[in-house]
Amino acid sequence: MDFHQLWTIVSTPDNVPIVLLLFLVPFYTWYGMRQAFANDRLIAELEANPEMAKTHHRKTQPYKTGWAKEVHVWPYLLRIEFLAAIIVTVILMVWSITLNAPLEEPSNPTLTMNPSKAPWYFLGLQEMLVYFDPWMAGVVMPSLIIVGLMVIPYIDTNPLGNGYYTYKQRKFSILTFIFGFIVLWVSMIVIGTLIRGPGWMWFWPGTTWDHNRLIFEVNRDLPDIFGITTRVPKIIFGAIVVGLYLVAAGIGIHKLITKTAFNRRIYARMSVLQYVVMQTFLIIMLALPVKILARLMFRIKYIWVTPWFNI
Amino acid sequence: MADTNGQPEKPVDTGSPAAGNGSGNGPGNGSSAVAKVLADAKAVRARATEELKETIKAPEKTDVWKSILRVKHDETPRSRALGVLSNVFLHLHPAKINRDAVAYKYTWGMGGMTFYVYITLVFTGTLLMFYYHPSKIIAFRDILYLESDVPFGKLLRNMHRWGAHLMVIMVELHMFRVFLTGSYKKPREFNWVVGVLLLVLTLLLSFTGYLLPDDQLGFWAVTVGTNMARATPLLGHAGPFGPQLGMTPFNDVRFGLLGGSIVDSNALLRAYIWHCVAIPILASAFMVVHFWRVRKDGGISGPAPMMLEREIKDVRKI
């Protein structure tokens, strides 16, 4: 156990936000889900008792008849905002006094940094480079993430859970988002920051970053495993495998979104366009963990090899 | 000043409007004229003192005060509402909000704090611009100078750096909260789209700023980042179908981003302009839209009364 190495990584000034993220993301996930479960319990009560549903004010927040429904922004909101501003200022000040922003040597194109890392918020994308070519990891995937986030409101036809925390009423969308945000985005950032060392090799926390370490990994292309060596059959074979993945993932996702009676009800509200867009983005999103598993378990480099692009 | 302060009560009567009569200009003999001028001066001084005292005692009654604040500030609900509505900095707020909507538990306060950190960044960033030249060699020296010679320069840079990181974290958590509460649902769909754009602009702001110290860290981070651009399908010289469309390192999208084929002085200048001018303007514009839409879409989304499954109205199918 090399604690010195561990400390060097964790205390690198630009890694501090990740350490912060390691605490903040689980905390807020817990904080939000706790309210979701509290609300779910109340929902179950209201579902079971129609009389109560008519009279209850349908929130877990305390309520008494006679209380004003609304409060003045001044002072009840503005004082909170003022307090928040002060607290943020204090945090930022203390952080800035105690920790210096990094400044390395002057830029030198002839001296490559190893590992040379992007800013932490892009490390998820850089980590993706292990599994995909740059055009996919650096351009197509980020664009699809952005567009995919934008279309969320237009493909989510579930009218429940609008303006309150809930898990029960939105299981599929909550789980999908948590999968995308925490499993694929935050954890890949954490891996890229804390675990990837020289040569972008995997160093478990506590092991020494050995700049001379060599890993003999023979990653093979899928067509080669099947003994396909010439160009045209490779293209056709890859296209078939990718096509099979698309179909299989599509069927799997379809099964998932029509699993329960409630899910089927939401599914029935979707237009064809909404369904197609949702399938497209979910299939592509799922391709990332599938490719990661294919690499880690079967040492597969590319699935579809063509002269123009490889996937 | 001293003697007028000694007799505060006496000139109350002369302080009344009658005192300003301006008479006594007529010719007379010398000594009485001087005495009269002196008496007048004393009266004017007494009156001025009185007016000053009134002003200090009740500044809210002066015309200047009224012209700035326009409304009375007393303990009436009307005044409390007007205090928010008639203030340019506060008018994005409604006068009243749902009593549950002020709960930190629900909002996490991340959106507002993001905006506050953005303001902090604009402030510290503007100060940093006074000490920074976006050109090779000088840029790095400016940072050294800033850290060692400029008063509070190090603090300024640290605050800008950590503020930027904080903003990225807060934006992501804000988005997480908005998703968990389903706040992107009708009628707030479009505001979510604007929010995603703001997330992208936040990341771009942070990324363009990374290069500006012109040290190894920023240089290689931006090199790694922009190397992705050369792999852009169709538009990058190393991307799928790029070479077939005539892309070279000297005409592809990466060349456009860097102003050259390597990260050099042009890239530094471009990063600087994107970072300090173009993206802040864009981001500010989208923020205006974002906040405006929060209000127009009916204010903060909740905590809303829960809807039950049996209350879903089935949509008409075509």
**Token pair recorded at residue B209:** 């700023």
pLDDT at B9 over 50: no
- At B292, give phi and psi (nearest 5°): -60, -45
| Res B28: pLDDT | 55
Per-residue pLDDT, averaged over B255-280, amounts to: 92
- d(CA B216, CA B227) in angstroms, rounded, equals 16
| Res A41: pLDDT | 92
* Position with higher pLDDT, A162 vs A218: A162
Chain B's closest residue to A169, CA to CA, is: B309
The kind and range of the H/E element at A72 are strand A70-72
- At A220, give phi and psi (nearest 5°): -115, 155
A49 at interface of B, judged by CB pairs closer than 8 A:
no
| Res B317: pLDDT | 60
**Token pair recorded at residue A33:** 């889900």
- d(CA B304, CA B98) in angstroms, rounded, equals 10
Instruction: Report the C-alpha dihedral over residues A256, A258, A263, A264, rounded to 10 degrees.
Output: 170
| Res A144: pLDDT | 94
Candidates B200, B161, B195, B165; CA nearest to B178 is B195
pLDDT at A253 over 60: yes
B14-27: pLDDT as tens digits? 444 444 444 445 55
Chain B hits for A52, CB-CB cut-off 8 Å, are none
Look at B217 and A106 and tell me if their CB atoms are within 8 Å: no
- Fold topology of B102-300: Cytochrome Bc1 Complex; Chain C (1.20.810)
Residue B316 pLDDT level (bands cut at 50, 70, 90): low
B198-231: pLDDT as tens digits? 999 999 999 999 999 999 988 988 888 888 888 8
pLDDT at B12 over 60: no
B67-102: pLDDT as tens digits? 887 777 778 888 888 888 888 888 888 888 888 888
- d(CA B216, CA A236) in angstroms, rounded, equals 44
| Res A230: pLDDT | 87
B30-71: pLDDT as tens digits? 789 999 999 999 999 999 999 999 999 988 888 888 888 777
Of B143, B162, B233, the CB nearest to A139: B233
pLDDT at B126 over 50: yes
pLDDT at A209 over 90: no
Q: Is B252 in contact with B242 (CB distance < 8 Å)?
A: yes
Look at B168 and A80 and tell me if their CB atoms are within 8 Å: no
β-bridge partners, A71: B97
Of B182, B207, B227, the CB nearest to A162: B182
The total of other beta-carbon atoms located within 10 Å of residue A47's CB is 15
Look at A35 and B106 and tell me if their CB atoms are within 8 Å: yes
B157-200: pLDDT as tens digits? 999 999 999 999 999 999 999 999 999 998 999 999 999 999 99
The whole-angstrom distance between A290's CA and the closest CA on chain B is 22
| Res A10: pLDDT | 84
Q: Sign of dihedral through CA atoms B215, B220, B221, B226?
A: positive
Q: Sign of dihedral through CA atoms A76, A82, A84, A86?
A: negative
CA B284 to each of CA A210, B118, B129, B201, B205: distance values in angstroms, whole numbers, following the listed order: 45, 10, 19, 10, 12
Residue that is written with structure tokens 């292990």 in the block: A130
- d(CA B79, CA B70) in angstroms, rounded, equals 11
Chain B hits for A20, CB-CB cut-off 8 Å, are 169
How large is the angle between the packed helices A78-98 and B110-129, nearest 10 degrees?
A: 50
- d(CA B248, CA B230) in angstroms, rounded, equals 9
3-state secondary structure B64-124: HHHHHHCCCCCCCHHHHHHHHHCCCCCCCCCCEEEHHHHCHHHHCCHHHHHHHHHHHHHHH
Q: Is B164 in contact with B129 (CB distance < 8 Å)?
A: no
A45 at interface of B, judged by CB pairs closer than 8 A:
no
The whole-angstrom distance between A13's CA and the closest CA on chain B is 9
pLDDT at B287 over 90: yes
Look at A72 and B233 and tell me if their CB atoms are within 8 Å: no
Chain A's closest residue to B182, CA to CA, is: A162
- d(CA B222, CA B211) in angstroms, rounded, equals 6
Look at A309 and B240 and tell me if their CB atoms are within 8 Å: yes
Interface confidence (ipTM) of the complex: 0.93
pLDDT at A194 over 70: yes
A10-43: pLDDT as tens digits? 888 888 888 888 899 999 999 999 999 999 999 9
Chain A's closest residue to B300, CA to CA, is: A163
Residue B301 pLDDT level (bands cut at 50, 70, 90): confident
- At A165, give phi and psi (nearest 5°): -75, 135
Of A80, A92, A160, the CB nearest to B307: A160
> Across all residues in chain A, what is the average pLDDT?
89
- At B238, give phi and psi (nearest 5°): -110, 10
Candidates B200, B192, B204, B144; CA nearest to B289 is B192
The kind and range of the H/E element at B153 are helix B153-180
Chain A hits for B107, CB-CB cut-off 8 Å, are none
A255-265: pLDDT as tens digits? 999 999 999 98
- d(CA B80, CA B96) in angstroms, rounded, equals 9
Q: Sign of dihedral through CA atoms B273, B274, B278, B281?
A: negative
Of B84, B225, B240, the CB nearest to A135: B240
The percent of residues in chain A predicted with pLDDT above 70, rounded, is 100
Per-residue pLDDT, averaged over A55-82, amounts to: 87
Chain A hits for B77, CB-CB cut-off 8 Å, are 72
Per-residue pLDDT, averaged over B283-293, amounts to: 95
Q: Which of residues 274-293 of A touch B (CB under 8 A)?
A: none
Q: Is A43 in contact with B308 (CB distance < 8 Å)?
A: yes
| Res B145: pLDDT | 94
**Token pair recorded at residue B70:** 């326009």
Residue B318 pLDDT level (bands cut at 50, 70, 90): low
pLDDT at B268 over 90: yes
Look at B203 and A122 and tell me if their CB atoms are within 8 Å: yes
pLDDT at A225 over 90: no
Q: Sign of dihedral through CA atoms A40, A46, A49, A52?
A: positive
A262-283: pLDDT as tens digits? 999 889 889 999 999 999 999 9
**Token pair recorded at residue A37:** 């479960």
The total of other beta-carbon atoms located within 10 Å of residue A143's CB is 12
CA A183 to each of CA A46, A78, A139, B179: distance values in angstroms, whole numbers, following the listed order: 33, 36, 20, 16
- Residue-range domain boundaries for chain B: 102-300
pLDDT at A296 over 80: yes
